[in-house]
């Protein structure tokens, strides 16, 4: 019996199995849009477990991270960058930074992560990529599962244990007016 990866059988987009041609298209199209929104993109060796950082002016990605993860990080860190430099969203960061109740913090963090994901979906669509919504949505949900497990256990979980598929599609969120300024460095791991 011949077996094929899922994306070759029925068009499903599985996290960790995006074809190279799709990754190149995402990177080329989205990186151009990110720069047009005024953010610099930089490669830099980052201290593990960091895979990417942002500071309101630039998005930095560790070149040792696999290319599919780099594509996701570009989309997701763009979304977070929008959250930190859009004056209309400033008020939404207060609870993220000042909530001490653990259960409430996890709810706030979930909202923060998925709002960023909406901005990532928006730029993906603006870049003319409209056939990878399921891939991106699954990646967002996988990333959330990874982050939530980190906060639950205090340790970095194995990525493969967090991979999910067939998730609800992320809704694009219109990108508000941005006023670029440096913010405290935030990171992805």
Q: Where are the domains of the chain?
A: 16-188
User: What's the chain's average pLDDT?
Assistant: 91
Q: List, for residues 16-71, the tens digit of each pLDDT value.
A: 889 999 999 999 999 999 999 999 999 999 998 899 999 999 999 999 999 999 99
HEC readout, the chain: CCCCCHHHHCCCCCCCCCCHHHHHHHHHHHHHHHHHCCCEEEECCCCCCCCEEECCCEEEECCCCCHHHHHHHHHHHHHHHHHHHCHHHHHHHHHHHHCCCHHHHHHHHHHHHHHHHHHHHHHHHHCCCCCCHHHHHHHHHHHHHHHHHHHHHCCCCCHHHCCCCCCCCCCCCCCCCCCCCCCCCEEEC
Quick one: average pLDDT of 146-160? 93
């Amino acid at each position: 019996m011949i077996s094929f990866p899922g994306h070759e059988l029925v068009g499903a987009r599985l996290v960790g199995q995006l074809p190279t041609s799709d990754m190149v298209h995402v990177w080329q199209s989205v990186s151009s849009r990110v720069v047009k929104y005024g953010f610099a993109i930089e490669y830099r060796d980052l201290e593990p477990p960091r895979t990417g950082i942002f500071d309101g002016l630039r998005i930095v990605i560790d070149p040792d991270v696999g290319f599919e993860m780099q594509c996701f990080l570009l989309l997701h860190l763009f979304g977070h960058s929008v959250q930190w430099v859009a004056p209309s969203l400033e008020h939404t960061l207060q609870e993220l930074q000042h909530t001490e109740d653990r259960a409430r913090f996890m709810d706030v963090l979930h909202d923060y992560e998925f709002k960023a994901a909406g901005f990532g979906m928006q730029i993906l669509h603006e870049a003319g990529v409209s056939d990878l919504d399921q891939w991106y949505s699954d990646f967002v949900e996988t990333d959330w599962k990874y982050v939530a497990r980190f906060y639950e256990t205090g340790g970095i979980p194995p990525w493969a244990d967090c991979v999910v598929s067939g998730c609800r599609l992320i809704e694009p969120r219109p990108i508000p007016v941005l006023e670029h300024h440096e913010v405290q460095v935030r990171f992805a791991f």
